Amino acid sequence: MLAIKGIIRLTEGKITILLGVETIFLAGICLGADGCMGASPAVVPEETVKMYNLFQEGKIEEAAKQQLHTLPFHKFLTHNDSRDDVPFLKEGVKILGQDLGELQLPFVKVPPDTKEELRQELRRLGKLK
Protein backbone atom coordinates (compact mmCIF):
# COMPACT_ATOMS: atom_id res chain seq x y z
CA MET A 1 0.00 0.00 0.00
CA LEU A 2 2.93 2.31 0.63
CA ALA A 3 4.07 1.82 -2.96
CA ILE A 4 0.63 2.76 -4.25
CA LYS A 5 0.52 5.87 -2.11
CA GLY A 6 4.04 6.77 -3.19
CA ILE A 7 3.17 6.47 -6.88
CA ILE A 8 0.03 8.55 -6.40
CA ARG A 9 1.99 11.21 -4.50
CA LEU A 10 4.84 11.34 -7.02
CA THR A 11 2.62 11.51 -10.10
CA GLU A 12 0.33 14.17 -8.59
CA GLY A 13 -2.72 12.77 -10.39
CA LYS A 14 -1.09 13.06 -13.82
CA ILE A 15 -1.54 9.37 -14.61
CA THR A 16 -4.32 6.86 -14.04
CA ILE A 17 -3.54 4.32 -11.34
CA LEU A 18 -5.20 0.93 -11.82
CA LEU A 19 -4.67 -1.78 -9.26
CA GLY A 20 -4.03 -5.32 -10.45
CA VAL A 21 -5.31 -7.04 -7.33
CA GLU A 22 -8.92 -6.53 -6.31
CA THR A 23 -8.32 -7.65 -2.73
CA ILE A 24 -6.87 -4.19 -2.07
CA PHE A 25 -9.25 -2.29 -4.34
CA LEU A 26 -11.16 -0.39 -1.66
CA ALA A 27 -7.99 0.49 0.24
CA GLY A 28 -6.38 1.59 -3.01
CA ILE A 29 -9.18 3.92 -4.05
CA CYS A 30 -9.22 5.34 -0.54
CA LEU A 31 -5.56 6.26 -1.12
CA GLY A 32 -6.31 7.78 -4.51
CA ALA A 33 -6.08 4.94 -7.04
CA ASP A 34 -8.50 5.23 -9.96
CA GLY A 35 -9.66 1.68 -10.52
CA CYS A 36 -8.87 -2.00 -10.73
CA MET A 37 -8.14 -4.67 -13.32
CA GLY A 38 -8.40 -8.11 -11.79
CA ALA A 39 -9.83 -11.61 -11.99
CA SER A 40 -13.25 -11.01 -10.44
CA PRO A 41 -14.01 -7.83 -12.42
CA ALA A 42 -13.26 -9.75 -15.61
CA VAL A 43 -16.16 -12.12 -14.85
CA VAL A 44 -18.56 -10.02 -12.77
CA PRO A 45 -17.59 -6.39 -13.38
CA GLU A 46 -20.81 -5.04 -11.90
CA GLU A 47 -19.69 -6.19 -8.43
CA THR A 48 -16.61 -3.97 -8.61
CA VAL A 49 -18.58 -1.12 -10.16
CA LYS A 50 -21.04 -1.32 -7.27
CA MET A 51 -18.17 -1.09 -4.78
CA TYR A 52 -16.66 1.85 -6.64
CA ASN A 53 -19.99 3.69 -6.80
CA LEU A 54 -20.61 3.16 -3.09
CA PHE A 55 -17.16 4.61 -2.41
CA GLN A 56 -17.88 7.61 -4.66
CA GLU A 57 -21.13 8.21 -2.74
CA GLY A 58 -19.18 8.24 0.54
CA LYS A 59 -20.70 4.94 1.68
CA ILE A 60 -17.41 3.42 2.78
CA GLU A 61 -18.89 0.81 5.15
CA GLU A 62 -21.24 -0.44 2.42
CA ALA A 63 -18.34 -0.52 -0.03
CA ALA A 64 -16.33 -2.56 2.48
CA LYS A 65 -19.23 -5.02 2.86
CA GLN A 66 -19.39 -5.30 -0.92
CA GLN A 67 -15.68 -6.07 -1.08
CA LEU A 68 -16.01 -8.71 1.62
CA HIS A 69 -18.94 -10.21 -0.33
CA THR A 70 -16.82 -10.63 -3.48
CA LEU A 71 -13.58 -11.83 -1.84
CA PRO A 72 -14.56 -15.54 -1.78
CA PHE A 73 -15.20 -15.40 -5.52
CA HIS A 74 -11.81 -13.78 -6.10
CA LYS A 75 -10.15 -16.42 -3.93
CA PHE A 76 -11.87 -19.19 -5.89
CA LEU A 77 -10.74 -17.75 -9.22
CA THR A 78 -7.13 -17.19 -8.26
CA HIS A 79 -6.35 -19.94 -5.75
CA ASN A 80 -7.26 -23.05 -7.68
CA ASP A 81 -5.24 -26.22 -8.13
CA SER A 82 -3.76 -25.17 -11.46
CA ARG A 83 -2.67 -21.73 -10.20
CA ASP A 84 -3.76 -20.38 -13.56
CA ASP A 85 -6.86 -18.21 -13.58
CA VAL A 86 -7.37 -17.79 -17.36
CA PRO A 87 -9.42 -20.99 -17.80
CA PHE A 88 -11.55 -20.03 -14.78
CA LEU A 89 -12.14 -16.52 -16.12
CA LYS A 90 -13.19 -17.82 -19.53
CA GLU A 91 -15.42 -20.50 -18.00
CA GLY A 92 -17.07 -18.02 -15.63
CA VAL A 93 -17.89 -15.67 -18.48
CA LYS A 94 -19.15 -18.63 -20.54
CA ILE A 95 -21.46 -19.77 -17.72
CA LEU A 96 -22.87 -16.25 -17.66
CA GLY A 97 -23.66 -16.46 -21.37
CA GLN A 98 -20.69 -15.09 -23.25
CA ASP A 99 -18.54 -17.73 -24.93
CA LEU A 100 -15.04 -16.40 -25.56
CA GLY A 101 -13.94 -19.44 -27.55
CA GLU A 102 -11.69 -22.38 -26.87
CA LEU A 103 -8.63 -22.19 -24.68
CA GLN A 104 -5.26 -22.15 -26.39
CA LEU A 105 -2.29 -24.19 -25.23
CA PRO A 106 -0.82 -24.33 -22.64
CA PHE A 107 -4.16 -23.77 -20.88
CA VAL A 108 -6.35 -26.73 -19.96
CA LYS A 109 -10.11 -26.92 -19.46
CA VAL A 110 -11.67 -26.49 -16.04
CA PRO A 111 -12.57 -29.92 -14.61
CA PRO A 112 -16.34 -30.67 -14.37
CA ASP A 113 -16.41 -30.73 -10.55
CA THR A 114 -14.62 -27.38 -10.42
CA LYS A 115 -17.08 -25.95 -12.98
CA GLU A 116 -19.85 -26.80 -10.51
CA GLU A 117 -17.97 -25.00 -7.73
CA LEU A 118 -17.69 -21.98 -10.05
CA ARG A 119 -21.44 -22.15 -10.68
CA GLN A 120 -22.05 -22.25 -6.93
CA GLU A 121 -19.91 -19.14 -6.43
CA LEU A 122 -21.81 -17.33 -9.18
CA ARG A 123 -25.09 -18.37 -7.50
CA ARG A 124 -23.82 -17.03 -4.18
CA LEU A 125 -23.19 -13.69 -5.89
CA GLY A 126 -26.73 -13.77 -7.29
CA LYS A 127 -25.59 -14.13 -10.92
CA LEU A 128 -27.28 -17.51 -11.49
CA LYS A 129 -30.49 -19.08 -10.27
| C-beta separation of 88 from 121 below 8 A | no
Task: State the burial class of residue 36 (Cβ atoms within 10 Å of its Cβ: 0-12, 13-18, 19+).
Answer: buried
**Per the domain annotation, does 129 fall within a domain?**
no
What's the pTM value of the predicted model, to 2 decimals?
A: 0.81
| pLDDT per residue as tens, the chain (129 positions) | 667 778 878 888 788 988 888 888 999 999 889 998 888 888 999 999 999 999 999 999 999 999 999 999 988 888 765 557 888 889 999 999 999 999 888 888 888 998 999 999 999 999 988
What is the span of the domain harbouring residue 13?
Answer: 2-124
* CATH of residue 18: 3.20.20.70
- Residue 43 CA to residue 22 CA, distance in Å, equals 13
| C-beta separation of 108 from 87 below 8 A | yes
**Per the domain annotation, does 81 fall within a domain?**
yes
